[in-house]
Amino acid sequence: MDLTFLVAGYASGPTLVLDQPLSFWGGVDPATGTIIDAAHPQLGAVITGRILVMPSGRGSSSASSVLAECIRTGTAPAGIVLGEADPIVALGALVAKELYPDRVCPVAVAADYSQAARAESITMDPNQATG
């Protein structure tokens, strides 16, 4: 897969493809990794361990620290693939990588988002990335 990494790291696993952007702040419970945003079509889905595929980030800048908290507690996705670059998502994963270097959650932008959104599993490998 053609990926440009915002936060480098290796991850591989089954995808969870979101139909709409998700704000981690108010949208995910860091204790369980469950989507708790009542307005989100995938309410109740669990992001933990999946390659989270979503078109973009959304919402409050406090989402950065909630993603970092998910990475700390181990409820975060294995990796995140976006349709467009998102500074808030990137920042949360970047700071978590500094704080908890053994629990990296790579973040990348897919050159062909529709391909990522159809994939049942994705391997994120910065050594094979184009960007």
Distances (CA, A) of 82 to 31, 68, 97, 120: 23, 17, 18, 15
Nearer to other proteins, 63 or 122 (CB): 63
- Active-site hit among 12, 23, 56, 60: 60
Closest to 37 in 3D by CA, of 65, 79, 7, 66: 66
Local structure of residue 43 (DSSP, 8 states): T
Could you tell me the smallest distance in angstroms from the CB atom of residue 81 to other proteins?
Answer: 14
Could you tell me the smallest distance in angstroms from the CB atom of residue 110 to other proteins?
Answer: 15
Binding site for other proteins (CB under 8 A): 6-7, 26, 30, 59-66, 68-69, 71-72, 85-88, 90-92, 94-96, 98-99
Nearer to other proteins, 17 or 88 (CB): 88
Q: What angle do CA 92, 94, 98 make, to 5 degrees?
A: 115
